[in-house]
Amino acid sequence: MGVYFDSATATPLHPVARQAFQAAADEGWADPGKLYAQARRARQLLDAARASAAEILGVRPDELHFTAGGADAVRQAVEGVRRARGRRVVVHSAVEHSAVVKAAGPDAVAVPVSATGRVDLDALASAVNSAEVAVAAVQSANHEVGTVQPVATAAELCAGAGVPLLVDAAQSIGRAPLPTGWSLLAGSARKWGGPAGVGLLAVRKGTRWERPWEAADDVPAIVAAAASLRAVHEAAAVESARQHALVDEIRRTVAATVPDVEVVGDPVERLPHIVTFSCLYVDGEVLLQALDRAGFAVSSGSACTADTLRPSHVLAAMGVLTHGNVRVSLHRDVSEEDVRRFLAALPPLVAAARAEAGVAGL
């Protein structure tokens, strides 16, 4: 199957998650909202999972809600604040995940970012200073280039304007220390090695929010998500340092061995597991297919999809190349040897892609 380098999209299921799911499936299959014995056992498992995840996030158990995934957590956050506050406008950084952008809708105000993807705090302060704003959204760190956002400062600006701050922490939970000052925080279990279809939404007490819809809790999946979150949280310091060193090697080697390449994102204030680089004169789809044939599963930083064919709004907002992009994101099973094999294979594959396009030597 080759080497999987796309953990920013989804991380392989953690062994602890698999074990926890199997155990919970035997005991937690009943509806936790009922009163009979099987249901009470499911409720006990659900409450224990909630308490465990809440402890790791640094919130109270009654502040934590499970959702049908990361995108659902974001939608519930935005719609719940809109309903409670009676306002519609969402202010968000121009590099938020598409789930935030879609939830915000056409009336949203997008705040510009720097060339490294860092939100413009002065522009944010101006944007939230309006009586029509329901909520602001600033991600903990960017999902395409890894740049860490100044959430604590953004939270102070939002608090001064009386606007709650939503933080999409999907890329940070289980990997990096969480920011402070937020009102709502969303995450996705499949980013840390939990099962797909489980999300987290933490809502601080005092935040005006109404849950917009209810959904049945998948107790075995939630138990698996909480168990894997604890496992990765306990190993985060060591694993983050290991991945940080590997990403440093990728950044240095790509810049030194691939002509006409730009490594994008903040080189210092960044997540440990993501690196994106833009190759001039290269068709990104052709390069990704070549890497796939060579045994390396990577993503495009341009995030183009077959149904839209639109380049990444993230890279466009940063003002960097939106084509010829490669995003490499590491996980616990990626080895030093995997990275070095990738770095050895990359330069000739880029050269071949340029030759195929008739632009070799430009």
Active site positions, annotated: 304
* C-alpha closest to that of 68 among 102, 99, 33: 99
Q: Please tell me the distance from the alpha carbon of residue 244 to that of residue 317, in angstroms, as a whole number.
A: 25
Burial pattern 49-71, b for ≥16 Cβ within 10 A else e, equals bbebbbebbebeeebbbbbbbbb
d(CA 264, CA 277): 6
Identity of the residue numbered 289: Q
In whole angstroms, give the CA distance from residue 164 to residue 9: 27
User: How is residue 186 written in tokens?
Assistant: 């969303």
Q: Is 151 left (phi over 0), alpha (psi -120 to 50) or beta?
A: alpha
Sign of CA dihedral 133, 139, 142, 146: positive
Could you say which DSSP state residue 198 is in?
Answer: -
Phi, psi angle pair for 106, to nearest 5° = -70, -15
